[in-house]
Amino acid sequence: MKEKIYTDIICKGFCRYYKEGREEIHCNGYVLLRSNFTPYELKIMLNLFKPKKEIKKEIPDRDERLIDLLCKGCDFFIDGCDYADNISVTPCGGFLIVNLFLEHPFEP
């Protein structure tokens, strides 16, 4: 089940596929982000990286390892996800945020 505070950040902010009313399922990126970051930490990090307004339509380089990591266990993968199935070139919001974080590794 989604939590509104995370849904506002991840889905409404970053996902072009998000539709209200389907709060019982979420992508695996959402699960990973919610498990590892408080909403406050998530907002701080996203502010640091200053993603472009059009990030929802971003076409990241296809990373099969990230697809394996996130998509194979995702709620949406079972019924078919256009990105994971290579039909669409734009992934969901959770995937985009995880990809964004991986592109900006923290220096100790």
Q: Minimum CB separation from ligand SF4 for residue 108, in Å?
A: 28
Min separation Cβ 46 and ligand SF4, Å: 17
Distance of alpha carbon 50 from alpha carbon 33, whole angstroms: 17
Q: Determine, following the binding rule CB under 6 A, whether residue 84 of this chain makes contact with ligand SF4.
A: yes
Question: Helices (DSSP H) in the chain: which residue ranges?
Answer: 4-6, 13-14, 28-36, 39-49, 64-66, 75-79, 93-103
Cβ proximity to ligand SF4, 39 vs 77, nearer residue? 77
Minimum CB separation of residue 56 from ligand SF4 in Å reads 13
